[in-house]
Structure formats: structure tokens, C-alpha cells
Amino acid sequence: MEGMADNGSVPLKVGVNDKLRIIYLDGHLKYLLKAMKKAYYVWSFLDDFEWDSGYTARFGLTYVDFKNNLTRHLKDSAFWYKRDDYRDYADFCFQEFGDRVKYWITLNEPNLFSSRGYASGIYAPGRCSNYIGNCSRGNSATEPYLVTHHLILSHAYAVKLYRDKYQFLISNFFFFLDFNFKTSQKGIVGITVDCRWQVPKFQTVSSRKAAFRALDFEFGWVVHPMTNGDYPKTMRCLVGNRLPNFTNEESILIKGTLDFVGLNYYTSLYADDATSYSSVFLSYTTDSHVNDTAEKNGIPIGELAGGNWLYMYPKGIREFVLYVKRKYSGLPIYITENGMADNNNNSLPIDEALDDDLRIKYHHLHLSYLLQAIKVGADVRGYSIWSVMDDFEWNSGYTLRFGLTYVDYKNGLKRYLKKSAFWFKNFLQMENATTDSSLLVSS
């Protein structure tokens, strides 16, 4: 934290579930603090330090480890039915931390959790149909939709609780006031969604339609019900009766439950119509009838960073926020994650690893395109880099380094600021930040 303060004033995204132990007791979930002294030390430290240092904490209630811990404690792969338990968990967090936290994220990348955990099986809990991957159990045709359906309802339960109990207005006479004037904790609640911009692979009607279908299946899958009360029509048409229905009461409950949407943007893909797909071996991964690729005529969509998936396409962040502006008018946007990875090269000297000009270029270009979107009316209110320091990247482990800070895993986790950290500090301290035209690409 002190290092972050020295590096400038930045938004901070905090996950609560790593500070909590969840146990099942007498038929009800009880939420007990894990390592209570340490957890409360962290938050008392934030209380004393954060606000004077200019931090804005965005507090995430659920990440992959939370959901899978809950699965194990319930001894039930279908934990996502337990909406009341999630509401109780959220209530605990609102009560304990709501006096300091004003930005709540109920779900972090629910679309990835459902698709990769229950369709392809590459994320925990590793469920999929046996014709999709090497999974011991699961149903790729139905489970991803069921999981997301109940995650959406869990989100709605938590939001209703927050608005009823913690975010009430000064008086019924002031119902017309914006949420910024709400009393009590005065917080706002949203979600974060992983999003890849979809570029039509060819200048054809079929490619353009494929791109919009892909956006509906990845982004609209979660956001559309929370803004319109039901799934996108494209999903209703293509998935049929495998896509769960909301009751009238549930539709009313979920609609309008976003004070903001968080976008986790890293890369983009080319989208084209899938000319062949199985009508027998059904899966969420093929239901959109889209063929996603990272190259066109052998040429990648952008420069490849770390890993085998992160192609740099900064224009996509502009296109995505403008898409949200057009389709979900009035919905405030926060860029909750944006960053690039280096491959973890153990033989590379630390001083060379700190020289990360490509990361500077990545963020400079993305911020430049984001500024273009803001200038034409996109309601973007915040930007967070992923990540402050090198970290454990889910199924990639420590093989990728996203951080502005280098972590020496071999020598007591000692930290070193990378060149990009100093660049970002200078950028934040500029009174009127402007872009370097030499780093801009043509629009």
C-alpha cells in the first residue's frame, strides 16, 4: 500500500473473500473472519490510510476461489442455487465494511466463471461434457446457463438488500435524486464482466452478425438481464429451452440492478459465422454459431504479449465502451481491469525484466483510445490497471507477470518497481494528461 501511495493516487480493487472463511453450520451459512487479527488490521489500515491517500476502493464480493470454496463447504456442485446464502454473505460484508466502501462489485467475471468452469472445464470446478474436454462430470449444454442464471439472481438479491437496508434515500419526497445523494452508506453496486471486442473478420453481413452474436453471448448474457429483465433475443433464439426463464417477479427483481458496469478488457478477436456446428454435441461454446480467431489471413489481430491469447488491440477498448453507450444508454462504465502480461522468464536478469516498454505502450494506447470514447460521450468514470504487482493468475499460475511491480519469487517475494510504474506515476501527476502522438495508432 505504501508503495502504491508513493507511486501516485490510483483506484484499488479489493477482494473480500480471501479474508473470510465460510463454514456450513446448522443448515445456514455463517461467515467468520479468517485470521481475524490480520484481516481487521488490513481494513483498519485502509481506514486510516486509504482516504487520506486518495484511494477509491472497489470492493469485490466474489471471485473464483469464493465460489469453489462455497461449493466444497456445501458438498454440492450446484452451490449457485443458494441465493439466500449469498445475500447473507453480502449483508455481512455491507455491515462490516460499508462505512468505508462506496463501490461494490457483486460478481467478478461471472461469464468466465460459468463458461470456463462449466462449459469448457478449464477453470475450477472443471465441469464439462465428455465430448468437450477431459472432465469427469458436467453438461456443457445446460450447466453454464443454469450457473449464470442463479448468479444473476444472487446479484439481484444482494442489490435489493443493499438498497433496502443500506442505501435508502433521505426521504420519500426526494425520490428524484441521483444515487450519489443517497444516505446511509452512500455506496453504489455493480458487476464486472470480462469482455473481448469482436471485430467482424470480413466486411460481410454474416461476419457483422456473428460479431454482435458473440457480444450478446459473452457480455449481454449477464448485462442484458440486469438492464432489461431478460436474456438477449439472440440467445433465446439459438439456445431455446436450455436457457432458463425468469418468472415475472424475477424479471422485475433483476431489471435495473446495475449502478455501474465494470469492464475487464485485455484483447479482441475476429468473429465470423460458423458454417458448421453439431446439433447433437451441444455446448455454450458453440451455441452462438461464431468462429472466433486471433488472426486473419495469417496475420494476428495485434502484437502478441505474454501467454498465447493476449494480442494487443487497443482500439477495442474504445469500440467496447461506445458499444455499451449505444446499447445500454445511461449505464456508467468503469474499466476495472486492463493490462498485459510478460511470460515469466526465470533466466532473465531482474534489471532487464524491469524494462517493460511494451507495457507502457499498451497502457498509453488504451488510455488514448479511451479518451477518444469519452470525448464523444462514453460515460467512463474510472480506470484500473491489472495489476499492481505480479500475481498468481488462476490456471496460468506464476507463468505470467501482469504487474507494474516485479515480484522476485526466488528471494522472499522482494518487490521492484518496473519502468511502467514510474511512467504511470508521472501520468497520474500530470495536471492535464495528454497523449504522445507518436504512440497513437490511426483510428
What is the enclosing helix (H) or strand (E) of 262?
A: strand 260-273
Q: Which residues pair with 382 in a beta bridge?
A: 334
Q: Under DSSP, is residue 76 helix (H, G, I), strand (E, B) or coil?
A: coil
Of 337, 352, 393, 431, the active-site residue reads 337
CA–CA gap between residue 205 and residue 254 (Å, rounded): 33
CA–CA gap between residue 401 and residue 343 (Å, rounded): 6
Residues 6+ apart with CB under 8 A from 22: 29, 31, 32, 66, 69, 70, 73, 89
- Helix spans in 339-418 (H): 350-353, 357-375
Residue 249 bears catalytic tag: no
Alpha carbons within 13 A on the beta-carbon side of 180: 1
Q: Are strands 11-15 and 56-60 parallel, antiparallel or unpaired?
A: parallel
CA–CA gap between residue 7 and residue 428 (Å, rounded): 9
Tell whether omega for the bond before 232 is within 30 degrees of 0, i.e. cis: no
Indicate which residues carry an active-site annotation: 337
